[in-house]
Amino acid sequence: MAVFFVCAGILGLLTFVLAMNISRLRRGRRVSLGDGGDKELTAAIRAHGNLMEWAPFVLLLIYLLHGPYGDRTVAILAILFTLSRLAHAGGMLGVVPQGRVSGAVVAAVVTVVASVMLLLAGLRAL
C-alpha cells in the first residue's frame, strides 16, 4: 500500500500545483472569476478540473482493490493512473506533447480495469 499512498500524495500535490497555476494566471491577467476569455487560463482551469473530476473516484476504486487483489495490483494501477494524470495535465498546459490524449486514454483504461476487477471480486463473494 506504500506505493498507493505515494501516488495519492503526488496527485494531491499536483492538485495544489494546478490550483496555484490558476491563481497565478488570474492575478497576472486581472481575472477574478472564470477565465476572462483567456485561452491559457481556460486550459489551466480545465487541467485542474479534470484532475478533480477523475482522481478521487479512481483512487477510491484502486484502494478498494487492495482486499481482493493485494499490493502489487494496487501499485501497478496507482502508478499508471498517476502517470496518466501527470501526462494529461502536462498536455493540457502545453508542456507534454500528446500528453492530454495519452493521459486521458490511460486513465480511462485504468478506470475500466479497476471497475471490472471490483465487479468480479464482488461476484465471487456472492
pLDDT digits (tens, 9 = 90+) for 73-102: 999 999 999 999 999 999 999 999 999 999
Mean pLDDT calculated for residue range 107-116: 98
Query: 67: buried, middle or exposed (CB in 10 Å: 19+, 13-18, 0-12)?
Result: exposed
Mean pLDDT calculated for residue range 108-119: 98
CA terminus-to-terminus distance, the chain: 26
CATH assignment of 2-125, given 3.30.1050.10, 1.20.120.550, 3.40.50.10130, 3.30.230.70?
1.20.120.550
- The C-alpha cell at 87 is 501526462
Say if residues 71 and 3 touch (Cβ distance below 8 Å). yes
Q: Binning pLDDT at 50, 70 and 90, where does residue 6 land?
A: very high
**What DSSP line would sit under 75-121, residue for residue?**
HHHHHHHHHHHHHHHHHHTTSSTTHHHHHHHHHHHHHHHHHHHHHHH
* Cell 493521459 -> residue: 103
Query: Which residues, other chains included, contact 72 with Cβ-Cβ below 8 Å and sequence gap of 6+?
Result: none
